[in-house]
Amino acid sequence: MPTPLIQFEKVEKSFGSNTILKKVDMEIYQGEITTIIGKSGMGKSVLLRHIIGLLQPDSGRVLFQGRPLLKMKREERRLFKKKVSYVFQGNALFDSMTVFENVAMPLVERFRMPKADIRDKVREKLEQLELFKVDDHYPSQISGGMKKRVALARALVTDPEIVLFDEPTTGLDPIRKHAVHHMISGYQKRFGFTGIIVSHEIPDIFYISQRILMLDEGNIIFRGTPAEIKNEQNPIVREFIKDQESRLDDLTGMAMQTQGEKRFHEEMDRLERYGVPFSIILLTIENVEEISLRIGHMAAQTVLKDFSVHVQKHLRIIDSCSRLELNKLMIVLSGSNPDRAKIVCTRLSIELSGSEISGEQPFPEFCFSISAGFIGVRKGDKLADLIADAESKQDMRYDFRVC
């Protein structure tokens, strides 16, 4: 195991008689997105505030690369703070300053760069976050989603190594929520920062996180990967994530990944007991990143939503379609052998190819490049292997474009 970038050692924190953190130990690793989940009021934001130094522990230590934050010398702490950015739940934009001034603020005050450099850097960041022609607007004059992006731009303008997100999607509609998740994940890949997210958005947040921590009653009761949390035996963790399992993905209106897996296991059970065949089709949207970059995260999510509605129209009622990853949909074809799966896959690719997925397509020049792979399931096959097979076998793949 590598050395953690940030480490909490027996951190305790109380407000009056209310103990929020009870000897919390946790580790954050470099280059990963770590998500802290837990019920409301359990102190998730309090944890984040300890990292940035807005709060200090009553006892215990917070370490950065093995050095306790409180024992750092002034200069050292200043260097550390330069590497960290914080995105507030309520954005915390300076409401008497324009969007441009807000984003430029850390550069002007902290980095003391020449004016021209600041202007270029701020413009670049605003453009990357699809904030066009709002430089002179005040935060109260722009929409909620835009405010979130301005807050994100302000946090990313200093090229931080660590970004802390305090409930970045609270109060956003499903499309904006997914756009923000997509944005965080995209920028994390592009800029390589270490992300720490406090979130309630289960299981959406699992798609973009590498590590999950669950805080309950002042203690970390789970630490592990998103795959591990689904098999966790701790009743509190199970209870917490079970609530979400029956939900449909509010973006695509499809079943969630866990439900897709459940369906797979049910079908596998039928196959093993009664020999009823089934197959899976995997639809991968190859250029979702490129589309996001060119027409914006929001627009990409809208098109994705329309696409999934379109796919569902072409399926039988007994087939199930679930969201597997940010850009992957899995269809489980009940009672279908590979030949039938091939027919369905061919039909789907012909019917979907070139089709108008939205009545009013606002971006006609951009098309999704979709690859569809199918595979018949045999007894004892593992889902992960099947997905990898469906993705890799060239002769079973159809590539087409949907506009």
Query: Any contact of residue 92 with another protein (CB under 8 A)?
Result: yes
Q: With the C-alpha atoms ordered 352, 358, 359, 364, is the resulting torsion angle positive or negative? A: negative
C-beta of 109: minimal distance to another protein in Å? Answer: 5
C-beta of 391: minimal distance to another protein in Å? Answer: 41
Q: Which stretch binds another protein (CB under 8 A): 6-14, 81-89, 326-334, 352-360?
A: 81-89
11 with 50: CB under 8 angstroms? yes
Query: Any contact of residue 29 with another protein (CB under 8 A)?
Result: no
229 with 238: CB under 8 angstroms? no
Cα of 194 vs its chain's centroid, Å? 14
Q: Which is nearer to another protein, 92 or 172 (CB)?
A: 92
Q: Which is nearer to another protein, 90 or 192 (CB)?
A: 90
Cis peptide before 203 (omega within 30 of 0): yes
Q: Which of 10, 39, 110, 242 binds another protein (CB under 8 A)?
A: 110
Taking the C-alpha atoms of residue 46 and residue 125, their distance in angstroms, rounded to an integer, is 29
Query: Any contact of residue 73 with another protein (CB under 8 A)?
Result: no
Q: Which of 22, 23, 81, 397 binds another protein (CB under 8 A)?
A: 81
Query: Any contact of residue 105 with another protein (CB under 8 A)?
Result: yes
Nearest to 169 by CA among 188, 147, 136: 147
Beta bridge partners of 61: 9
Query: Any contact of residue 291 with another protein (CB under 8 A)?
Result: no
Q: Binders of another protein: how many residues, by CB under 8 A?
A: 21
13 — alpha (psi -120 to 50), left (phi > 0) or beta? beta
Q: Which is nearer to another protein, 82 or 314 (CB)?
A: 82
Q: Which stretch binds another protein (CB under 8 A): 21-29, 48-56, 325-333, 385-393?
A: 48-56
* Number of Cβ atoms within 10 Å of the Cβ of 322: 23
**Residue 185 in tokens:** 């994940």
Taking the C-alpha atoms of residue 89 and residue 140, their distance in angstroms, rounded to an integer, is 16
Q: Which of 22, 29, 30, 53 binds another protein (CB under 8 A)?
A: 53
C-beta of 104: minimal distance to another protein in Å? Answer: 12
Q: Which is nearer to another protein, 148 or 305 (CB)?
A: 148
Concatenated DSSP letters for 134-145?
A: -TT--GGGS-HH
Give me the residues that bind another protein (CB under 8 A), please.
52-54, 78, 81-82, 84-86, 88, 90, 92-96, 105-106, 109-110, 112
